[in-house]
Amino acid sequence: MTLVNASCIDRYEAHLLKKQADGALVPHPPYERPVDGQFVAESRPGVKPQAYISQIEAAAACANAGKRLCSLTDWYGACTGGAHTTYPYGATYQAGRCNVAKVHLLSILHGANAHNWAFADFNDPELDRRPGFLAATGEYAGCVSTAGAYDLVGNLHEWVADRVDRTLRKKLPVPAVIRGSAGRHTGNGIFMGGFFSTLNQHGDGCNFVTTAHGVNYHDYSTGFRCCRDR
């Protein structure tokens, strides 16, 4: 973990370990839903992070690891650093630094017409098994913040512990696309940073915020990392 203000934050997006009957922890495939068991979050380099996870499930996995799901301010502070930059690595976008802007796999695997995509399509395990899209943690070595946290922008969206309420605008400079919709999304979960097939649809870099989904939502783009108090 690395220190950011009053919190410690995992350097890498989380993957899951599943607790066995004898207490042993074994790796859980990151492209499978974490259901029917107890799961523990772990953070280390060189592994595929867990996708297909909801905010509720992510918070439970952090708690099982003796940590907590990062707050919005934890996450945003780690991403923007002391200089409050738009991207983890600096003020301006640099192509190739983070795992972003790739073609949407849904259009390849489930047809070009987005109106025909079903919820099950968004949870197709093949979406994160397909080579060249979801990267291992730390694989994009240039996508690191001044605090030493990797992949805060791109790779997977990251759930934070906050829910949408009237305090959201005070916590970060919310992009215009979110300012106009936050009132309609009260009570929803929040995920940050974008994933491998986004760029700036909901804000640039560290300002990428999604508020449109409930806390039980999950798909191939949703991941997380954990924090703990100092």
Range of the domain at 69: 2-100+133-229
**Has residue 124 been placed in a domain?**
no
**Has residue 108 been placed in a domain?**
no
The predicted pLDDT at position 53 comes to 98
Burial class (CB in 10 A: 0-12, 13-18, 19+), 37: exposed
- CATH number, residue 75: 3.90.1580.10
Average pLDDT per run of 10 along the chain, which is 230 residues long? 91 98 96 96 98 98 98 95 94 97 94 93 96 98 96 98 89 75 87 96 93 97 96
The predicted pLDDT at position 183 comes to 76
The predicted pLDDT at position 178 comes to 75
**Has residue 117 been placed in a domain?**
no
Write out the E strands in the chain: 2-4, 7-9, 15-19, 25-27, 39-42, 68-69, 157-163, 189-192, 209-210, 222-223, 226-229
The predicted pLDDT at position 33 comes to 97
The predicted pLDDT at position 124 comes to 96
**Has residue 77 been placed in a domain?**
yes
Q: Rounded to whole angstroms, how far apart are CA atoms 138 and 156?
A: 12
The predicted pLDDT at position 179 comes to 73
* pTM of the predicted protein model: 0.95
DSSP 119: H
* Number of domains the chain is built from: 1
CB 89 within 8 A of CB 144: yes
Contacting residues for 22 by C-beta, under 8 A, at least 6 apart: none
The predicted pLDDT at position 4 comes to 87
The predicted pLDDT at position 170 comes to 82
**Has residue 154 been placed in a domain?**
yes
The predicted pLDDT at position 49 comes to 98
**Has residue 156 been placed in a domain?**
yes
DSSP 71: P
